[in-house]
A and B are shown apart, each in its own frame.
Chain A
């Protein structure tokens, strides 16, 4: 009986497989995407990465496609799950390049996967517009892989952003000079804390509490109680999504009432605002957007209307902008020639939802670095090369 059921199931699976084969039409641009749909980063990619690809394709195809030379070409997507695994990511790029023969690629998601896949993407000469990788290595990567472009800024920029914000508030008399500094013990957290410490010292801050915790730590109560005992004016944690939520929850439970409460990746997620409601007001984190900017405003409205949810307020708009740049560069090159499109990206200035972007050295220098929650919007309060819509304010209690 069981065996028969399995055979039926197998037959159904096979039927589905055949039905799932994509229709193939001429005059279509094949776009390949490989990013996490399972594994540790699947949650982040489901918020920041995949929806933006859908959104952009829908926009472009609704407008009749991209104008390539004298042809209007629609976009078709071939997508694979990399299971948050570098080995899978490389294999997927190979499959996209040599089996599916896609014309262009969407960059993978996260720093690690972008770097793992970069040599393979470079081998085939695809333009590689990384929108979810923030690390100090970007200048090296840009010269190592001339086809790659890095849009999310560097760790140093992010660290500078929060220190500038703290300095501003200290000068205004909002806060004193005592800082509690916490980081997740992996490359990202270490890079940020390494960049922040000398900057804090130079800014006249006193680090009264400092600790790190391993990635994946569930119980962060000791971190918060340790910080609370040191009575800081500002709590700064370079954390990942899971720990960002856990730290904030603990701070709320234990009543860590610092005028500045800053957490890392994940603070900008719409789920964060949903989880903490009004208590999120005043919390700072990595990212932010300028909601009074018309480009951003349009993007937010589009995202809400089409997907029924807010985007992630850090890399989401950048991811969308990366796709816009790819589309505009294809139109500008007037062909599907990869090298010509890489040249077009290098030489051009592009009108995107995050403003005008040009990357002559393959790196986008203009990024928002610190955001602060204000009634459901994660408003940028510090940026590098971009104007911000708000000034940092003291956080009230947790009510």
Chain B
């Protein structure tokens, strides 16, 4: 591995400080703002993990709910038999295994076929889990009662998000990251220069799936009562895509700047319009698409370019 450059070390340091500050939140507030932050952290982890794969490859995956639900069910089924940390590890393995299987079967198809397949996958996994539970499970109704309270779940999510970021950062500067960049730009070219495109995509999909499954496993104690409609909620898949696209997937921190405003907006809408949430959120979607088509990162970069241009102009004027 190439040694870190000074610039990279600066980014790493800044990231570490940000996560450390985020981890302090439960010491300040244990009420509503902690709940809201759990929500933000969850989607920060999910969207960044999603963008890890879908960002460079441009494959829009709607399978988030499948991985998430598997993670939740791993804890639901195993909590009485195994220690919780072990279950988190198992969830990661199961998520990666499913992603590997699915990836091997489908990553050769692309475009809209992949989108539809992944959407169906969540439903398929849900039905398989239900069927297995009906046939083999001894416990009826899955309860997850632990001593974990909100702040613990929050801390786990902060740690998970940090891990996703670190992984993505390391991938970006590895051979795999370089390969993904070329695949994203032109898959045919990538194949011609000797990149095993299928393998690279599958590996990335597995990493992404494992992280999403762990997020589901972390959230299981919060639901207490595990049932398929909430664990495999298709809304999760859609929200992740929308938030990540709102942020922008070209930068590592892109999804994050989508998640934070979007979660707060959604929350405000549902608090102020309890009877018309869906209508107002629909209008907000339209507004977002019309007003910020390139996502928040696009907006920020535009602003930066304008600022730079102005600075350059100022410099010229001064020189003149």
Q: Which residues of chain B in 131-159 are interfacial with respect to chain A, using CB atoms and an 8 Å cutoff?
A: 131, 133-134, 140-143, 145, 149-150
| Beta-carbon contact of A20 and B35 below 8 Å | no
Residue of A nearest to B231 (CB): A86
Q: Which residues of chain A in 361-376 are interfacial with respect to chain B, using CB atoms and an 8 Å cutoff?
A: none
B187 interface residue per 8 A CB criterion: no
| Beta-carbon contact of B291 and A87 below 8 Å | no
A99, B224: Cα distance in complex, Å: 24
| Beta-carbon contact of B272 and A187 below 8 Å | no
- Given A87-B222, A88-B270, A186-B130, are A10 and B287 also a contact pair (CB < 8 Å)? yes
A272 interface residue per 8 A CB criterion: no
User: What is the interface size of chain B, counting residues whose CB is below 8 A from a CB of the partner?
Assistant: 46
- Given A112-B230, A190-B140, A214-B131, are A119 and B224 also a contact pair (CB < 8 Å)? yes
Residue of B nearest to A13 (CB): B280
| Beta-carbon contact of B277 and A83 below 8 Å | yes
| Beta-carbon contact of B290 and A91 below 8 Å | no
A335 interface residue per 8 A CB criterion: no
CB-contact partner of A79 in B134, B235, B274, under 8 A: B274
| Beta-carbon contact of B32 and A98 below 8 Å | yes
A230, B232: Cα distance in complex, Å: 35
Q: Which of A1-9, A257-265, A302-310 contacts B (4 or more CB under 8 A)?
A: A1-9
A102 interface residue per 8 A CB criterion: no
Residue of B nearest to A17 (CB): B272
Task: Give 10 nearest A-B pairs by CB, closest first.
Answer: A98-B31, A187-B141, A94-B35, A115-B225, A94-B32, A91-B35, A86-B223, A190-B140, A185-B134, A98-B32
A118, B221: Cα distance in complex, Å: 12
| Beta-carbon contact of A81 and B274 below 8 Å | yes
| Beta-carbon contact of B290 and A3 below 8 Å | yes
Instruction: Please list 11 pairs of residues, one from A and one from B, whose beta carbons are closer than 8 Å in the complex, sorted by A's number.
Output: A2-B290, A3-B291, A37-B275, A38-B277, A80-B271, A86-B225, A87-B38, A91-B32, A94-B31, A187-B142, A190-B134
| Beta-carbon contact of A85 and B290 below 8 Å | no
| Beta-carbon contact of B141 and A190 below 8 Å | yes
B36 interface residue per 8 A CB criterion: yes
Which A positions have Cβ atoms within 8 angstroms of B?
A: 2-3, 6, 9-10, 13, 17, 20, 37-38, 40, 79-81, 83-88, 90-91, 94-95, 97-99, 111-112, 115-116, 118-120, 123, 135-137, 144, 185-188, 190-191, 194, 212, 214-215
| Beta-carbon contact of A116 and B275 below 8 Å | no
| Beta-carbon contact of A185 and B277 below 8 Å | no
Known: A80-B270, A116-B223; 7 extra A-B contacts, CB below 8 A, are A83-B235, A85-B230, A91-B32, A91-B35, A94-B31, A185-B134, A190-B141
| Beta-carbon contact of B267 and A91 below 8 Å | yes
- B181 proximity list for chain A (CB < 8 A): none
- A137 proximity list for chain B (CB < 8 A): 141, 143
- Given A6-B287, A80-B270, A190-B140, are A38 and B134 also a contact pair (CB < 8 Å)? no
B200 interface residue per 8 A CB criterion: no
Nearest CB in chain B: distance from A270 CB, A? 22
- A9 proximity list for chain B (CB < 8 A): 283, 287
| Beta-carbon contact of A91 and B36 below 8 Å | yes
- Given A186-B227, A186-B228, A191-B141, are A214 and B130 also a contact pair (CB < 8 Å)? yes
| Beta-carbon contact of B277 and A191 below 8 Å | no
CB-contact partner of A6 in B34, B134, B267, B290, under 8 A: B290
Nearest CB in chain A: distance from B32 CB, A? 4
| Beta-carbon contact of B230 and A86 below 8 Å | yes
A13, B265: Cα distance in complex, Å: 13
| Beta-carbon contact of A81 and B143 below 8 Å | no
B39 interface residue per 8 A CB criterion: yes
- B34 proximity list for chain A (CB < 8 A): 94
- A85 proximity list for chain B (CB < 8 A): 230, 233, 235
A202, B291: Cα distance in complex, Å: 68
B174 interface residue per 8 A CB criterion: no
A84, B236: Cα distance in complex, Å: 13
A50, B229: Cα distance in complex, Å: 22
- B131 proximity list for chain A (CB < 8 A): 185, 214
| Beta-carbon contact of B227 and A112 below 8 Å | yes
A155, B222: Cα distance in complex, Å: 24
| Beta-carbon contact of B143 and A115 below 8 Å | yes
- B219 proximity list for chain A (CB < 8 A): 87
| Beta-carbon contact of B224 and A116 below 8 Å | yes
B22 interface residue per 8 A CB criterion: no
- Given A9-B283, A186-B130, are A38 and B278 also a contact pair (CB < 8 Å)? yes
B127 interface residue per 8 A CB criterion: yes
CB-contact partner of B39 in A17, A91, A98, A190, under 8 A: A91
- Given A37-B277, A38-B278, A81-B274, are A115 and B32 also a contact pair (CB < 8 Å)? no
Nearest CB in chain B: distance from A102 CB, A? 12
What are the interface flags for B241-282 relative to A under an 8 Å C-beta threshold, 1 for contact and 0 otherwise? Answer: 000000000000000000000000001001111110110100
| Beta-carbon contact of A37 and B127 below 8 Å | no
| Beta-carbon contact of A111 and B225 below 8 Å | yes
Residue of B nearest to A212 (CB): B134
- A112 proximity list for chain B (CB < 8 A): 223, 225, 227, 230
- A116 proximity list for chain B (CB < 8 A): 222-225
Residue of B nearest to A191 (CB): B140
A116, B277: Cα distance in complex, Å: 22
- A84 proximity list for chain B (CB < 8 A): 229-230
| Beta-carbon contact of A115 and B267 below 8 Å | no
Residue of B nearest to A35 (CB): B274
| Beta-carbon contact of A97 and B224 below 8 Å | no
